[in-house]
Chain A
Amino acid sequence: MSLSVKNLSFTYNPGLPTEAKALQDISFNAEKGEILSIVGHTGSGKSTLAMHLNGLLIPQSGEVVIDGIKTDSDPKNLRKIRQCVGLVFQYPEQQIFAETVSDEISFGPFNWGLRGDALEKRVLDAMELIGLDVSFASANPFQLSGGEKRRVAIASVLASEPRYLVLDEPTAGLDLSGVCELICLLKSMCEKEICVIHITHDLELALNISDRILIISEGTVTAIGTPSQISEILSNINVKGLILPDILSLSYELNKTGTIKNITSDPYQLAEQIKEAKMKCR
């Protein structure tokens, strides 16, 4: 049971002068209980990829298989897939429409056929998960602050209890404490055996929180691996539009001059290595 993408390609407006290749021959797997970050610059095809993961876009070639079900134009399959893959769009607070927070959050599970007590329980569970007090349930979502709105929007996806959670730039526009809260949430989702696919342009964030990272550039997979593997790979190749975190650049420089042996994106490991090097000097 996993999410797998095989040789996926997608072109916008094929055959027209505005034709644009968004994805070319993308393949990867995502397992339950892991955080997979998809990192790429603006226009690299990240969002197009996200829309393929729950069947909003159907692959033009290749396939996307979720728990054994292929995304195709069969509406029955698509319903099943959308129920099990929750997609949180960029700026999800812009999709809010209901009069109360609980109405907003219950929209998803209601559409999947839940009613009565079960529905109410889902809403409360989702609110608890995202750290919204029960007193918010009857509040007007349009009167909440930006961060609270974002949480309501994410809760409205969580309430469907997806097995795969895809988030497109969930940290965009959040302040530092908002980002930290969100990361905590992603980690707790992961502990619940949910597969979290986190799409971002922020490599530093990805290196810090992910189990695995997929780097996408101009619609193709440039690299895939654990954060330490990715740190190694990026010392040899230049990915267009990808800004390296300062810590990684520092690590590369120290490695080049021979001060440290292992490339790392972890500040503590780096400090440890520098300390050792200093000891040797004496």
Chain B
Amino acid sequence: MSLIKGVTLGQYIPADSFIHKLDPRCKLLITVLSMILIFMSGSFTAMAMWVFLIIFTAKKSQVPAKALIRSAKPILVLIIFTSFLHIFFTGGDNIIFSIGPLKASAEGAVTAFRMGLRLYLLVLFTALLTFTTSPSELSDGLEAAFGPFKRFGFPAHEVAMMMTIALRFIPTLFEETERIINAQVSRGADFVSGGMIKRAKAYIPVLIPLFVLVFKRADTLASAMEARCYRGGKGRVRMYPLKWGIAENKALAVFVVFSAAVIYLNGRI
């Protein structure tokens, strides 16, 4: 599986922890709120508090540090790129060095660091959510979160189901892509040499069989769902109904106190 080696974003790491057991709605709410708050936090004290919260949550939920650090790998390029832009284009008087017309300022460096850290924290937070919440729980949570929009005709259940299926099939599709690539390489396909256009064209013998397979799979899955009388969200009951209990209230209370502290400190230090 060389294609997805080391990418842990979106993966679920099963464990028996307090955080794993929390209602997905609670976790989703906390994640969304913290994302907004992280964007509002400018001071380094506030940032440090977020780092602390993430480390604390990771420890509590038994997520391995390695997996957590790796989770940001796919968007590392984006983080570096944004930081880079900030260094050169923030402006300011304290020039550290310059490359031609590009001037790196000390103010820029600070902003760049802040922006990079902010993005990194955002990714880590969402990674923590997916590490501790199984895909089916996550989609249940999303369905509940979208619930209020049902009144305006928003297909909350269908969207949640689509997400679950998409998540479920990511590893399968990677496996199949790998297999087709191997088969074509055995027949002499060459994906490395030649210019951009030639290399892009070389992927046609991979993409076509992959599309054919995906459509076949989708067809089979649809038949299997219909055979088991699936007909959308109407009147559907759950095997494990979502429960909001004392644990969720406690978690939310702790988070609210923490956020209040962050907001208070952010304005001062």
Q: Are B186 and A89 in contact (CB under 8 A)?
A: yes
Known: A51-B182, A142-B212. A83 touches B204 (CB 8 A): no
- Residues in A with CB closer than 8 Å to B186 are 54, 56, 82, 86-87, 89, 157
Q: Are A95 and B184 in contact (CB under 8 A)?
A: yes
- Residues in A with CB closer than 8 Å to B209 are 94-97
Q: How large is the interface on A (under 10, 10 to 19, 20 to 34, 35 or more residues)?
A: 20 to 34
Closest to B192 in A: A75
Q: Are B188 and A89 in contact (CB under 8 A)?
A: no
Q: Are A160 and B212 in contact (CB under 8 A)?
A: no
Q: Are A160 and B184 in contact (CB under 8 A)?
A: no
The 8 Å CB contact of B187, one of A51, A75, A142, A156, is A156
Q: Is B185 an interface residue (CB 8 A)?
A: yes
> CA–CA, A157 to B182, complex, Å?
13
- Residues in B with CB closer than 8 Å to A110 are 188
Known: A95-B209, A97-B209, A142-B212. A108 touches B188 (CB 8 A): yes
Give chain A interface residues in 100-120, CB to chain B under 8 Å: 107-108, 110-112
Q: Which of A51, A56, A79, A92 has the most CB of B within 10 A?
A: A56
Q: Are B188 and A97 in contact (CB under 8 A)?
A: no
- Residues in B with CB closer than 8 Å to A87 are 183, 186
Q: Are A79 and B188 in contact (CB under 8 A)?
A: yes
Q: Are B188 and A160 in contact (CB under 8 A)?
A: yes
Q: Is B180 an interface residue (CB 8 A)?
A: yes
Q: Is B208 an interface residue (CB 8 A)?
A: yes
Q: Are A97 and B185 in contact (CB under 8 A)?
A: no
Q: Is B213 an interface residue (CB 8 A)?
A: yes
- Residues in A with CB closer than 8 Å to B176 are 94
Interface string of A64-85 (1 = CB under 8 A from B): 0000000000010001001100
Q: Are A82 and B185 in contact (CB under 8 A)?
A: yes
Q: Is B158 an interface residue (CB 8 A)?
A: no
Known: A89-B179, A94-B180, A142-B212. A157 touches B187 (CB 8 A): yes
Give chain B interface residues in 167-199, CB to chain A under 8 Å: 176, 179-180, 182-190, 192
Q: Are B182 and A89 in contact (CB under 8 A)?
A: yes
> CA–CA, A78 to B96, complex, Å?
50
Given contacts A83-B188, A87-B186, could you give 19 more A-B pairs where the C-beta distance is less than 8 Å? A56-B185, A75-B192, A82-B186, A89-B182, A94-B179, A94-B183, A94-B212, A94-B213, A95-B183, A95-B184, A95-B187, A95-B209, A107-B188, A108-B188, A110-B188, A111-B189, A111-B190, A112-B188, A157-B187
Residues on B facing A (Cβ under 8 Å)? 176, 179-180, 182-190, 192, 204-206, 208-209, 212-213
**What 10 pairs between A and B have smallest CB-CB spacing?**
A111-B188, A97-B208, A95-B183, A108-B187, A87-B186, A97-B205, A89-B183, A97-B209, A56-B182, A112-B188
Q: List 16 A-B contacts (CB under 8 A).
A: A56-B186, A79-B188, A82-B186, A82-B188, A87-B183, A87-B186, A94-B179, A94-B180, A94-B209, A94-B212, A95-B183, A95-B205, A95-B209, A107-B188, A111-B187, A111-B190
